[in-house]
Amino acid sequence: MKLWSDSWVNGEHIPAKYAAGRLDASGKPVFSDNRNPHLAWSDVPQGTLSLALICHDFDVPSLGDDVNKMDREIPADLARVDFFHWVLVDLPVSLTQIAEGEFSSGFTPRGKTGPATLYGARHGINDFTGWFGGDEQMKGEYFGYDGPFPPFNDSLVHHYVFTLYALGIERAPVHGAFTGAQVREAIYPYVRGEATHSGTYTLNRRLRG
């Protein structure tokens, strides 16, 4: 099973238009174009009945005490956790690619709607749901794709992994506003194959050069 993208070369820097956040001309973090990348795949295993797609960042700080502070950087040795940026299930096996911007173009305060989406598929909520949970202007259920927006003071470059799963079931056994962690657990017994495409992103000006 193979997964690739015309949006950037596997493992290389993600262009800002696919991110939720970027730096403006003055170096201030602002919202970006937030377009979902192009993704295409082939060699899906025989017997696959549906596809699921998850994008996660595994470099997110486990503690928020130092996040986005002007006078310090987040230590590289701080424990890191997963942050889910895209959770998509029930993609039809006849589908072979997703176009750039097809599922997301622009950042939506309080989140895009869901779970129903294109191709009869369903979106889960991403982890911006929790991140903005205490912000009265931004809180809501963030369905679908919202791209990279790492802390501008993180001493680590973040890694984003898109994983496509081939499943032996037509409908993933998750319901309502499901999360990436819930999908991972629910689909595990039905995975017939998987493939990944990844990229990196940072808003730390020191690391950007």
Question: Which residues are CB-neighbours of 93 under 8 A, at least 6 positions away?
Answer: 44, 48, 49, 50, 51, 166
Give the global pTM: 0.97
The CATH number for 2-208, chosen from 3.50.50.60, 3.30.70.260, 3.90.280.10, 2.40.50.140, is 3.90.280.10
Q: What is the average per-residue pLDDT within 41-54?
A: 98
Under a CB-based contact definition with an 8 Å cutoff, are residues 147 and 155 in contact?
no
* Cα angle value 15/36/143 (rounded, 5°): 135
Identify the pLDDT of residue 208: 80
What DSSP assignment string belongs to 144-161?
S-------TTBSS-EEEE
- What is the rounded distance in angstroms from the CA atom of residue 122 to the CA atom of residue 170? 12
Q: What is the average per-residue pLDDT within 39-56?
A: 98
- What is the rounded distance in angstroms from the CA atom of residue 204 to the CA atom of residue 68? 10
For residue 52, what are the CA distances in angstroms to 92, 170, 172? 9, 10, 8
- What is the rounded distance in angstroms from the CA atom of residue 4 to the CA atom of residue 19? 18
In the predicted structure, residue 122 carries a pLDDT above the cut 80: yes
pLDDT digits (tens, 9 = 90+) for 130-151: 999 999 999 999 999 999 999 9
CA 18 to chain centre: 10
| Lowest-pLDDT choice from 25-29, 80-84, 150-154, 192-196 | 25-29
* Cα angle value 72/77/82 (rounded, 5°): 100
